[in-house]
Chains A and B, each alone.
Chain A
């Protein structure tokens, strides 16, 4: 069994900005461990002769030429924004988190 404890789940929930109750944390700790174990079984299928990959499609260098395409108007860009001001997205003041 993969060792994913309650604190790990609480940490991830905090990073993901997800509010979780105590019961949810307990349940998720158990479920995540099972999920991770299931995914781990992939490593049994791949032998040493299979190189690691981060992508399922054997493609590389899918590029775009540096040519300007379409853009939105500011009005279009802001059309789905909950709030805007001066052609810009208006967001709550957020302390220096980034």
Chain B
């Protein structure tokens, strides 16, 4: 279906310089809608979370949700924006069945937040500053389902069904300034930017931030210009790119497509594009036209929102630690290397490790269990690691039993499986399954304890990751046992005891 030519990404980068821009819509998780007291709930029966305001009935009046305004200000502050002393709403006029009023209540010339920035850390640690143009309040539209037709897509549909439950749900639209200088890292930056916005609104507690539910939606603007040219090229706007992976792919694809168009000597058409996850391509939506003349004018039914400096400062004082700062702090506290920490973050177990350490585990033990054992089990079960239900106390207990020599690491993983299978507490499972160190490890462990106690400095070194230092302890144990012990087993036991992976 899609036969448009594309250049290879490398060739596109050789010839052109990409400029990006994003509009990210964040659905707020207020209890009610932006302008009506109908509930803001996802997934309910169609047209049951509506009242006369959401349906745009004649004579109704909107009333602004105070919590939504506060959430918007918090988002603005978290994006390092200025908060407008006074701002107003505007009507954006258009005809489409997703908007029963025939206009969307939005903000136009006076957004509540403006002139901010977000520092985005790329995977190699490079920090890229994205300037924020504005963040404004508006309302979501209803949901259309196109029925009939051969494809189920909008073209060829016979009719559409409309559910207005989403109509009026509070939105904050975050608009960047043109992002220049990303070069070949543009797709990665796109993904990282949207991920950062999602993380911030989730951390603020103002949105459920689930992209798969449309809580965070991204429109990605891409244009290319020859290297060295100041003036921007003509852009396309790819709508509703609704996963982080898709954001990266869509930007990459559009760069390749624009490059092929320009290479053929043609102008890029300024238009919206639709993203298709299945083929990882975009198709033409519609060109910019008359219909984009929205005839904005100030909403006469709403009075201005005045954010006193006291109110703004009150809200600023409630902001949680920014995610990026928190990560930096935790990595330093835990003493993880950049690579170790990045793996933890990517595996999505940072919170879990924090809780496990708070429950009494050492940073290395917590990492060993989560990264070495639990993440893999979660992957096999196709759930998030946190959803397996492993309690921090369980890990602390397992680690303690290993340290005390009651069980070895291998047994401990068995006990973990038992806990996950609901067989009881670690102690109960050890008992029930008859798991305890029964080999000749007993005398060895005593000798190891003695050797470790004799050389505490070496023990610390090993704990700190200098695994090669284990030789000194092994030597001590071999001496104490007059060479009768299995050195490999001794080494294993020492590392196990110190909670270090060889």
Complex-state Cα separation, A80 to B63, whole angstroms: 24
Q: Is the CB–CB distance between A55 and B31 below 8 Å?
A: no
Interface positions, chain A 79-93, Cβ under 8 Å from B, are 85-93
Q: Is the CB–CB distance between B64 and A63 below 8 Å?
A: yes
Residues on the B chain within 8 Å of A98, using CB? 94, 96, 98-99, 141
Indicate if B88 sits at the interface (CB-CB under 8 A): yes
**Which one of A21-29, A33-41, A64-72 contacts B?**
A64-72
Residues on the B chain within 8 Å of A50, using CB? none
Complex-state Cα separation, A3 to B146, whole angstroms: 43
Indicate if B37 sits at the interface (CB-CB under 8 A): yes
Interface positions, chain B 150-205, Cβ under 8 Å from A, are 154-155, 157-164
Q: Is the CB–CB distance between B86 and A88 below 8 Å?
A: no
Which of the residues A63, A71, A95 comes within 8 Å of B66, measured between beta carbons? A63
Residues on the B chain within 8 Å of A90, using CB? 159-162
Indicate if A59 sits at the interface (CB-CB under 8 A): yes
Indicate whether A15 sits within 8 Å of B306 (C-beta atoms), given known contacts A63-B63, A88-B145, A93-B146.
no
Indicate whether A87 sits within 8 Å of B46 (C-beta atoms), given known contacts A62-B64, A66-B68, A70-B51.
yes
Q: Is the CB–CB distance between A87 and B88 below 8 Å?
A: no
- What size tier do the contact residues of chain B reach? 35 or more
Indicate whether A64 sits within 8 Å of B63 (C-beta atoms), given known contacts A57-B303, A87-B45, A89-B162.
yes
Indicate if B413 sits at the interface (CB-CB under 8 A): no
Most chain A CB atoms below 10 A, which of B145, B149, B304: B304
Complex-state Cα separation, A98 to B154, whole angstroms: 12
Indicate whether A93 sits within 8 Å of B160 (C-beta atoms), given known contacts A69-B37, A71-B50.
yes
**Which one of B254-262, B292-300, B359-367, B491-499 contacts A?**
B292-300
Q: Which residues of A contact B (CB under 8 A)?
A: 11, 14-15, 17, 54-55, 57, 59-74, 77-78, 85-98
Subset of 7 A-B contacts with CB under 8 Å: A11-B290, A63-B64, A64-B65, A69-B36, A72-B47, A72-B48, A73-B48
Q: Which residues of B contact A (CB under 8 A)?
A: 30-32, 36-39, 45-52, 55, 63-69, 86, 88, 93-99, 141, 144-149, 154-155, 157-164, 285-286, 290-291, 293, 295, 298, 300, 302-306
